[in-house]
Chains A and B, each alone.
Chain A
Amino acid sequence: MKGHCWKYGADINTDFIIAGRYLNTTDPRLLAGHCMEDLDPQFSRRVKAGDIMLADKNFGCGSSREHAPLALKAAGIACVIAKSFARIFYRNAFNLGLPLLVCPEAYDACDSGDEMEISLQTGVIHNLTKGRSFRAEPIPEFMQQIIRSGGLMQYVTETDQGKSNQH
């Protein structure tokens, strides 16, 4: 995957990603329209499909709202790279098929607007603008399978069908 980078700071909470006042819908398009609104009102208008989000520690802290990774994904974000992630957000993102990478070095060395290329299999992040590469912690194999399936429910359904085919 390849896209431009959006860089934010530490402890980006799920209220920033999608504010509580917009949780009266589950429509991904409506949620995407308000994504990151209270932190960066320009974001939802300027983000492009395939872009990559970069953040400091504890990205996605706060609420368990799955609307947060849903909004990011619908806005076009293909992957989030951070120094660390809050645990509920981490589960939710993979469950919805939004991959996350932990890579402190990439955060420190990359800037907003940089063009990045990422391989989820290897965890290698190339910053094409700066000509540098970084290696993220590899994603556990079963979580890669969830991403390939497009999310946990698809994964569960597929493995369930796989099981019943074997019978």
Chain B
Amino acid sequence: MPMTITEKILAEHAHAETVVPGQMIKARVDLILANDITAPLAIEQFRKTGRGAVFDRDKIVFVLDHFAPNKDIMSAEQCRTVREFAREQRLTNYFEGGEMGVEHALLPEKGLVKPGQVIIGADSHTCTYGALGAFATGVGSTDVAAAMISGETWFRVPESIKFIVSGHFRPWVGGKDLILHIIGDIGVDGALYRAMEFSGEVISRLCMSDRLSMANMAIEAGAKCGIMPPDEVTRAYLNQRLPSSDQGRFIQSDQGAGYAETKEYCVSDLEPQVAFPHSPENVHAISRIGRIAINQAVIGSCTNGRLEDLEVAARVLNGRRADPSVRLIIIPATPWIYEQALRRGYLETFIKAHAIISPPTCGPCLGGHMGILAKGERAIATTNRNFVGRMGHPESEVYLASPAIAAASAVAGYICGPEEIEVKDKP
């Protein structure tokens, strides 16, 4: 029976010949993730069972990225709980301090994510790893605790929606704009409980960084996972990190596999997209938004804190300065990205542009620290959510866009694209 990539991966991990949408399965997991917010609850639940050891110390990844560097005493206590557990269980993949990066940028970069894997994480943006052709989905702390014991979890096999994307991007338009456009089209529950499978010529040409940005936001449409067929781009990305004998399984959807829906998009006329408060589905093309003054611009996060994102920001900011009314915060997502940005001169460009360069952290994205908004303030951010109070005061506002738009907006003082500030050096 023909199956989608999602169904094939799940069948393999459930030791079944085939699975069908709606079926409840118990599946082996290859990687389990938690962070400084979600791991403490998972550890509490793990302790309740009286178990001594996790099922496999190589398959559990803890990253202290959300409220780190510790924002207050309570966060410091939570981080300590996770640190002590990681030491006690001798976890191989424990990241904090100068080895820590924003988890969904860090794990692929470290070669921990491989095509064909099943990955669960106590963080909703775990779906990011679908960019590499893995089945990856967010769960809660208790599911993580149970899987840390058994190495398994239960799933309802999702139906899939196929997104076929054709055309050519205009300058300054890319993966972030496409995923915002799709969420604007289908809504925040448009893919509820389903797998979003992205394919077509545009996806094939898309760099891994943009693929990761797109899969990252599948959850904003309610999806269980976002997934892309692994190909030569995937291979090239893995070749930089893993020996060719250890690059996972490149699984493709079968001809004739069943989809709940197929949706086609052409990007040739797509403008840069901006999601207005207070929902990622509240998406508008940049030419139609009017003049929206901002107080802060944030470039970073698991959605857009990778080197390619900083490269775009540097191109826009080169020789320019943030408007004095705007606090521009740039957050390289991992230490490696930070170092590369330093070597390539991006950090110098940012400093000259009067940007604040933050250490890797989720920080302001979830209203944690390092860039909180006051009452009535407005931010443009390359992050993934713009819910009420997401970046600070309940009466502040967050607009979501790409790094190009965030950087240009910081210079202009209002939301706009690089053309508005006459950036000539197009990507």
Q: Which of B70-78, B250-258, B287-295, B329-337 contacts A (4 or more CB under 8 A)?
A: B70-78
Asked if A128 lies at the interface with its beta carbon under 8 angstroms from chain B, I say no
Nearest A residue to B369 by beta-carbon distance? A21
Contact A87 B222 (CB under 8 A): yes
Contact B188 A20 (CB under 8 A): no
A15-B390, A153-B48 known; A63-B366 Cβ under 8 A: yes
| Minimum distance in angstroms from A142 CB to a CB of chain B | 9
Asked if B242 lies at the interface with its beta carbon under 8 angstroms from chain A, I say no
| Minimum distance in angstroms from A5 CB to a CB of chain B | 22
Asked if A19 lies at the interface with its beta carbon under 8 angstroms from chain B, I say yes
Nearest A residue to B149 by beta-carbon distance? A156
- Give CA–CA (A84, B74) in the complex, Å: 34
Q: Which of A1-42 contact B (CB under 8 A)?
A: 11, 13, 15-16, 19-21, 23-26, 37-39
Asked if A127 lies at the interface with its beta carbon under 8 angstroms from chain B, I say no
Majority SS of interface residues in chain B?
A: loop
The digit string for B374-407, where 1 denotes a CB below 8 A from any CB of A, is: 0000000000010111101010000000000000
A15-B388, A16-B387, A157-B49 known; A152-B367 Cβ under 8 A: no
- Give CA–CA (A87, B219) in the complex, Å: 10
- Give CA–CA (A84, B126) in the complex, Å: 22
* Interfacial chain B residues near A39, Cβ < 8 Å: 388
| Minimum distance in angstroms from A32 CB to a CB of chain B | 15
* Interfacial chain A residues near B117, Cβ < 8 Å: none
Q: Which of A64, A66, A70, A84 has the most CB of B within 10 A?
A: A64
A153 interface neighbour in B146, B279, B389, Cβ under 8 Å: B146
| Minimum distance in angstroms from A80 CB to a CB of chain B | 15
Contact A67 B366 (CB under 8 A): no
Q: Which of B335-383 contact A (CB under 8 A)?
A: 366-368, 372
* Interfacial chain A residues near B146, Cβ < 8 Å: 152-153, 156
Contact B387 A95 (CB under 8 A): no
- Give CA–CA (A6, B387) in the complex, Å: 21
Contact B189 A88 (CB under 8 A): no
The digit string for A58-81, where 1 denotes a CB below 8 A from any CB of B, is: 100111111101100000000000
Q: Which of A25, A39, A66 has the most CB of B within 10 A?
A: A66
Contact B140 A64 (CB under 8 A): yes
A11-B189, A21-B367, A88-B124 known; A66-B74 Cβ under 8 A: no
**Contact residues of A with B, CB < 8 Å?**
11, 13, 15-16, 19-21, 23-26, 37-39, 57-58, 61-67, 69-70, 84, 86-88, 91-92, 95-96, 151-154, 156-157
